[in-house]
Chains A and B, each alone.
Chain A
């Protein structure tokens, strides 16, 4: 009997690549929970979007969409659909999340914590369930600095934004469910875009920061010039995640899918390269000669943000708000230990594209699309 997978977040940065891989590389049947507001979409539409047109008929046939909402009881599914999923799902990949960094904590919790609780409730009702994959973030480490082990979660250092905290709390729910749910946690680094095309399916904080630079509104960033900025490409992340979930799954596993050793820009480098690649992608922009932001202490950055807020300047306040919710993470240098990951995927570092090889494409894609979300 072929495997039957239930996937949330299937239209997000990682979920869409994962579904494409599952359809291409296995004979599994995939049921994707799409948000109610996308109710009109068909599986053929999604298959075409993921696999290119025309999707193979057989792959199309194995893909099924159900409309729902992770924040709703029973995921917003009909009783029949819920029962059917419980009866058939042998694997669940929970990738749905809000990745906005600027949400109030309660709002982030509603999607990322309560949503995870709802998916776990479904998992507990799945009689055939063999694997439950939870897509998390390496930044559940919050304001910690230094080496972060895959085995560690609990800490008291606090968080830079509500996204980090809500994912941290969601991981706690996963831990608490391990007796009844065979779950693994995949902590991804910041996903930048596709390494082959530069395509950004879903612009997130780093892309918004890049946009502030493009608008000439980036004044300063907190951190130290030599701090590294951990970034991974969406396709590389999905490839590793697929292999971990299908070939190396182990309940209780927590893995860091972060940048390879020496595969990261420093903060100073990424600022410099951002301005270089923006100028290449948009020569008229280059002629404006916007200055690159100053890299400064978190205190100074915060004083500047507070002043912009006090001045009630809407544009500057908005720009700084955009930067504020993720930029402070740059001031907490950390190294993500990947011993367990490398034990599963010894070639991970060779297979994961170095940011230096694709950052220009991502910048060009952002400029080309006007930072719009790709369908």
Chain B
């Protein structure tokens, strides 16, 4: 009788309907920088490592780059304002504000004029600019592209465990000016996004969440090749586990809402999952490219506005964050 290789370590995994009132996503919004570059422009500027033709074959076409003088966090604040307005939610109802970055840390000023410069918090600024009154404001980071799904999971758990009616997640990252726009064969855009969660909501309700953190891969530059090799096996297992938690089969899923990594990788993953490729919403891969933490918001927003979603549709949101965390959330529209 074969013996299991190793016991599964404890990992965040939830079926939400078994653990309190429903929580749903009632407001979504995002902002992309105006500056849009083609692969050829990126190639000419030395901003991608692979030939443009290869990245085009992998499904990319453009990326958005923040170069304005205005602070990048304005994109998040504008997204937050729009999400609150769409939900017509009074500011007083927001009990929690989470600001999510996928990067290792906010870069402190290179030469702070005073030590107090180190304590200028984007989360508190967003709280102020949005006119929030009662919300606690704090930031989460260091989960790469998994950060937003983790924040949604934590915010939902917080709402269930309290009598707070709603939580607002603001996510976004801009790569440093002049940075390479290709990360592991993916073309990277800057973006800001907002997700509003409400307790008792019946739309876009959270059904299950499963995440695996494999910390051997924490040193991303040193482990790049191993991460590339691990991506598909763990992705397949995490998605399968999230569906099992939700009590769903692949056939029950209306849409896979991807993180906008290469179309090629989704073609491979779809085959591994025996998933029809047309169930994966891939059209933003060419239009936008991959953002560190806003892909799901961008895709869900567009799917809603294009009328792709019907009430009761199950959606699978999958992402991988360097660091490394594989995350999968199931929502019911």
CA distance in complex: A219, B162 (Å): 43
Q: Which chain B residues border A307 with CB–CB below 8 Å?
A: 58, 264-265, 268
A286 at the interface (CB under 8 A from B): yes
A272 near B229 (CB under 8 angstroms)? no
B216 near A288 (CB under 8 angstroms)? yes
B230 at the interface (CB under 8 A from A): yes
Residue of A276, A290, A299 touching B230 (CB-CB under 8 A): A290
Given contacts A220-B232, A319-B229, contact A292 B5 (CB under 8 A): yes
Q: Which residues of B contact A (CB under 8 A)?
A: 2-6, 9, 50, 54, 57-58, 185, 214, 216, 225-226, 228-234, 236-237, 264-265, 267-268, 271-272
Given contacts A294-B272, A296-B271, A303-B271, contact A313 B228 (CB under 8 A): yes
Residue of B2, B216, B233, B268 touching A303 (CB-CB under 8 A): B268
Residue from the set A268, A292, A311 with the largest chain B CB neighbour count within 10 Å: A311
| Nearest B residue (CB) for A315 | B225
A297 at the interface (CB under 8 A from B): yes
The smallest C-beta distance from B60 to any residue of chain A, in angstroms, reads 13
Q: Which chain B residues border A311 with CB–CB below 8 Å?
A: 50, 54, 185
Complex interface residues of chain A between 11 and 27 (CB less than 8 A to chain B): none
A279 at the interface (CB under 8 A from B): yes
12 further interface pairs, Cβ-Cβ under 8 Å (given A289-B9, A294-B236, A310-B58): A217-B225, A217-B229, A219-B232, A220-B232, A268-B2, A276-B5, A296-B271, A300-B268, A304-B268, A307-B265, A311-B50, A319-B225
Residue of A218, A273, A287, A312 touching B229 (CB-CB under 8 A): A218
A291 at the interface (CB under 8 A from B): yes
B5 near A279 (CB under 8 angstroms)? yes
Q: Which chain B residues border A272 with CB–CB below 8 Å?
A: 2-5
The smallest C-beta distance from B272 to any residue of chain A, in angstroms, reads 6
Given contacts A217-B229, A304-B268, A316-B229, contact A276 B237 (CB under 8 A): no
A296 near B225 (CB under 8 angstroms)? no
Complex interface residues of chain A between 270 and 308 (CB less than 8 A to chain B): 272-273, 275-276, 279, 286-294, 296-297, 299-300, 303-304, 307
Q: Which chain B residues border A315 with CB–CB below 8 Å?
A: 225
A216 at the interface (CB under 8 A from B): yes
Q: Which chain A residues border B5 with CB–CB below 8 Å?
A: 272, 275-276, 279, 292
Q: Which chain A residues border B50 with CB–CB below 8 Å?
A: 311-312
Q: Which 7 A-B pairs have the closest CB atoms?
A: A291-B233, A216-B226, A300-B271, A288-B216, A275-B5, A219-B229, A315-B225
Q: Which chain A residues border B2 with CB–CB below 8 Å?
A: 268-269, 272-273
CA distance in complex: A134, B243 (Å): 54
Q: Which chain A residues border B9 with CB–CB below 8 Å?
A: 289
| Nearest B residue (CB) for A306 | B264
Q: Which chain A residues border B58 with CB–CB below 8 Å?
A: 307, 310
A291 near B226 (CB under 8 angstroms)? no
The smallest C-beta distance from A296 to any residue of chain B, in angstroms, reads 6
The smallest C-beta distance from B328 to any residue of chain A, in angstroms, reads 15
B225 near A291 (CB under 8 angstroms)? no
The smallest C-beta distance from B29 to any residue of chain A, in angstroms, reads 34
A216 near B268 (CB under 8 angstroms)? no
The smallest C-beta distance from A19 to any residue of chain B, in angstroms, reads 37
| Nearest B residue (CB) for A286 | B6
A291 near B230 (CB under 8 angstroms)? yes
A289 near B233 (CB under 8 angstroms)? no
Q: Which chain B residues border A275 with CB–CB below 8 Å?
A: 5-6
The smallest C-beta distance from A240 to any residue of chain B, in angstroms, reads 27
CA distance in complex: A312, B54 (Å): 10
| Nearest A residue (CB) for B8 | A289
B230 near A216 (CB under 8 angstroms)? yes
CA distance in complex: A291, B231 (Å): 9
B228 near A279 (CB under 8 angstroms)? no
The smallest C-beta distance from B279 to any residue of chain A, in angstroms, reads 17
CA distance in complex: A276, B229 (Å): 19
A303 near B185 (CB under 8 angstroms)? no
Q: Which chain B residues border A292 with CB–CB below 8 Å?
A: 5, 233
A-B contact pairs, 26 of them (CB 8 A): A216-B226, A216-B229, A216-B230, A217-B226, A219-B230, A269-B2, A272-B3, A273-B2, A276-B4, A279-B6, A286-B6, A289-B216, A292-B233, A294-B236, A294-B272, A297-B271, A300-B271, A300-B272, A303-B268, A304-B232, A307-B265, A310-B57, A312-B54, A313-B185, A313-B228, A319-B229
